[in-house]
Structure 1
């Protein structure tokens, strides 16, 4: 496909696909906080708890990038 290898296409899809999914999950958390009228502290707790897994994935990508893995 236009000179790209399967590995390059998979890496691109993983990077931008998961990135888009993370942005969508942030949108869902914001909507959940709004609909439940969570307030500032409740919204903070929602982002802390539900966003912790996303933060772990981003940290893994940054560490792999820094170590050139």
Structure 2
């Protein structure tokens, strides 16, 4: 059979599938702001509120790469 390690599946999900999902969520936020006619300020707040978790995830990924490259 095809044996794939659990860590491989986790890595694929974390580093490939999750960023694709986050990109799709940003598209959804853009669509929500356009359909609700939120304007510039409303669009800003939609992206700030809903995008904060995604940005935090991306910062975490960058920090992991930096720590692995320079400190370990």
TM-score range for the pair, normalised by the shorter chain length = 0.7 to 0.9
Unaligned runs of 5+ in 1: none
Aligned: 1:26 with 2:26: yes
- Residue in structure 2 matched with residue 17 of structure 1 by the alignment: 17
Structure 1 counterpart SS, 2:37: coil
**For 1:29-68, what aligned pairs fall within 5 Å after superposition?**
29-68=29-68
Give CA deviations for 1:14-60 in whole Å, capped at 9, x if unaligned. 21110111001001100100111000111011111110010111111
Structure 2 alignment gaps of length 5 or more? none
Moved over 6 A (4+): none
CA RMSD of aligned residues (A): 1.8
Shift in Å at residue 5 of structure 1? 4.5
TM-score normalised according to structure 1 size:
0.84
Length-normalised TM-score, structure 2: 0.81
